[in-house]
Amino acid sequence: RTAFGIGAAELDTIVAWVRESGIRWGMDETHRQHMELPPTRENSWRAGLDSLLLGYALAPRGPELVAGISPAAGVSAGDGPLLGNLAWFVETLYRHLRSLAQPAAPAVWAKRLLELVDQFMSPDESDPIALDRLRAVVTELNDWQQLSGFSGELEGPALRWLIERRFDRGGAGFGFLGGGVTVCAMLPMRSIPFRVIGLLGLDHGAFPRRATPLSFDLMAAAPRRGDPSPREDDRYLFLETLVSARDALHLSYVGQSVR
């Protein structure tokens, strides 16, 4: 809705237009014929939009027929932007429906679906993590085709099964970017921004870790630059966490033992 410039307060006006113009279902007679039904144009979106657009163009005039089309009432001269956005939405929707009805290679499907996501899902009203996850699943179609060597075409139901199966695998396939609350260990090089980050177990003596070298550890006896250091690693992880937290950083430690 937002992607096509239609506000929430304008939905009631659109519903009234749909009722006034007699729109029921189907884009046009061709769409109905593809569904093995009589190729009639009446009460379709095409007929309804023609009626609404004619009503807007002839707003000051009477309801006489023009080229066999009855202009819809209830459309004023100031409704032009909203009516144009509605026609844009309907035309774009059915254009994609016609495209999605055609079998295609996985790479072509990926291009179609990414275009669909970009046009119909506005970042302002959608979950950015969910959008990134959806785009990641669609992009995997390209990788899947290259790895499998599949050169054929997929029907829509087969593609839907593949995508649903990918989502059914849950957050395991997406790791800590699966959305929601993620509980995980601290790992380096994952300084990806998050709104809220909580660190547990920052007890005295536990974080940062203290090295306890063995008596025969020659590296501990003569340390050099670049040698692994758990304490330095933990300090670097803490710095990454500070940089990654956007809104809040929650630090937790045991101040007094329950015993």
**Rounded average pLDDT per 10-residue block, the chain, 259 residues:** 85 91 89 88 90 82 71 83 92 91 90 90 71 84 80 88 77 52 74 84 83 79 81 87 90 80
Instruction: Return the structure tokens found at 240.
Output: 């990454």
Q: What is the DSSP letter of 12?
A: H
**Dist. CA 26–CA 31, nearest whole Å:** 6
Instruction: Return the structure tokens found at 102.
Output: 């055609």
Q: What is the DSSP letter of 66?
A: B
- Residues near 75 by beta carbon (within 8 Å), at least 6 away in sequence: 17, 52, 55, 56, 59, 83
**Dist. CA 74–CA 55, nearest whole Å:** 8
- Residues near 77 by beta carbon (within 8 Å), at least 6 away in sequence: 56, 59, 60
Model confidence pTM above 0.85: no
**What pLDDT does 173 receive?**
45
Three-state secondary structure call for residue 101? coil
**Dist. CA 121–CA 137, nearest whole Å:** 16
Does residue 123 have a cis bond before it (omega within 30 degrees)?
A: no
Tell me the domain boundaries of the chain: 1-101, 102-179, 194-251
Packed helices 156-168 and 128-148: angle between N→C axes, nearest 10 degrees: 120
Which residue is it, tokens 């050169």? 151
Partners of 194 in beta bridges:
245
**What pLDDT does 89 receive?**
93
**What pLDDT does 137 receive?**
86
The secondary structure element, H or E, covering residue 165 is helix 156-168
Please calculate the CA angle 55-83-33 and round it to the nearest 5 degrees: 80
CATH superfamily of this structure's domain 1-101 = PCRA; domain 4 (1.10.486.10)
Three-state secondary structure call for residue 75? coil
